[in-house]
Structure 1
Amino acid sequence: MISTLTGSAQNIFEASRTGDVETIRNLYNQNKESINAVDSKGFTPLILSAYNNQKEVVSFLLEKGCDVNAKDTSGNTALMGVCFKGNFKIAKMLIDSGAKVNQQNYNDATALIYASTFGHKDIVNYLLKNGADATIKDNRGNTALSHAKMQGNNEIAELLK
């Protein structure tokens, strides 16, 4: 895995944030490993593009075989970021491409905990249909159901019961 990139290759991070597929394609053609590059915060092009709702970039990166389960310096994955932000189409792409639905970050939170906390019912449904474990607790002992209840996300709480 590439730990850092210098020079023009550094552009892959900005291109991932802004949805510049052409730049990413060119960088990939110059260096196939660029799609798994990691910046100083541990963000990969996939994590950045997923978090910033750049569906076309996510699609390209997944098609080229990037690491769908790469973690940032907090242990968060692209799927966790999407579950925080709420883009169902990108969440579905990640899950369908092998994202681990029960992966935990360094606070033991999962994608399901994020989707439940932030009220993304469609994502919660899809996670559950794809094997998400609603009994996993974060480092404070809270499950996705606990978080949904704390946030008043009653429809999600019903799904998780």
Structure 2
Amino acid sequence: MKHIIPFVLLILLAKGLSAQNSTDIFEACRAGDLATVKALQNINADTLNSVDYKGYTPLILAVYNDQPEVVAYLLTQKVNTDAQDQSGNTALMGAVFKGYQQHVKILLENGTSVDQQNYNAATALTFAATFGGPEIVKLLLEHNANVNIKDARGYTAIDHAKMQGNTAVVEVFDAYIGNKNSTDGKK
């Protein structure tokens, strides 16, 4: 029995430190504290793909809080770029929602799924059509975002742009569809 008590205490201490490290990684990513991110990774290599109580990953938080150095570092560490929070939203969707074109670009360049859907079946293109500007829509289309995906209510990204009265985005879609139809018709 004497030997079991120290062993149990050691396990509980390790679990407490692990929980503290996970909490710290999220704060470090929010704040753009790259030194702390690296230090926590050295303590626990799995910390970079950890998930908080809302389903946020370090990458989702770094993107959403516009921390380009931390985002770039996390991507060099091959974190899961398609991880979803409790609503099914990804880092790419967060970048689009916030209008962070540089994050959209780097995420796409690092293999993020452009057509991943959240739990309402919306894609990053849906977010861009609703909240974003024409440049982000163009960037997503350049990475082959599917304009025909419908959300849970049956609307495409183009429908969302029209409902929002976002004429600049509608014009981007019209030009893209026009160009695609003219190149598809050629043999």
Shorter-chain TM-score bucket reads over 0.9
Match runs of 1:50-129 below 5 Å: 50-129=63-142
Q: 2:24 aligns with which of 8, 11, 26?
A: 11
Structure 2 match to 1:29: 42
Structure 2 match to 1:46: 59
Q: Could you tell me which amino acid in structure 1 is paired with residue 152 of structure 2?
A: N
Q: Could you tell me which amino acid in structure 1 is paired with residue 57 of structure 2?
A: T
Q: Could you tell me which amino acid in structure 1 is paired with residue 133 of structure 2?
A: H
Partner SS, residue 140 of structure 1: coil
Residue identity over aligned pairs, in percent, reads 50
CA–CA separation in structure 2 for the residues paired with 1:97 and 1:105: 20
Q: Could you tell me which amino acid in structure 1 is paired with residue 136 of structure 2?
A: I
Change (3 A) 1:36 1:79: same
Cα deviation 1:1-39 (Å, max 9, x = unaligned): xxxx51244200011111111110111122111100000
Cα deviation 1:61-110 (Å, max 9, x = unaligned): 00011001111111111001111111000110000000000000000000
Q: By how many angstroms is 1:112 displaced?
A: 0.4
Q: 1:137 aligns with which of 141, 150, 153?
A: 150
TM-score (norm 2): 0.81
CA–CA separation in structure 1 for the residues paired with 2:32 and 2:171: 36
TM-score (norm 1): 0.94
Tell me which structure has the larger Cα radius of gyration. 2
Change (3 A) 1:119 1:152: farther
CA–CA separation in structure 2 for the residues paired with 1:120 and 1:62: 25
Runs of 4+ off more than 2 Å: none
- Structure with the bigger RCO (C-alpha within 8 Å, sep 6+) is 1
CA–CA separation in structure 2 for the residues paired with 1:136 and 1:77: 17
How many matched pairs?
Answer: 157
Query: Any conservation in 1 of the 2:30–2:62 contact (CA below 8 Å)?
Result: yes
Structure 1 match to 2:3: none
CA–CA separation in structure 1 for the residues paired with 2:21 and 2:143: 39
Q: What stretches of structure 1 of length at least 5 have no aligned partner?
A: none
Partner SS, residue 89 of structure 1: helix
RMSD of aligned Cα (Å): 1.0
Q: What stretches of structure 2 of length at least 5 have no aligned partner?
A: 1-17, 175-187
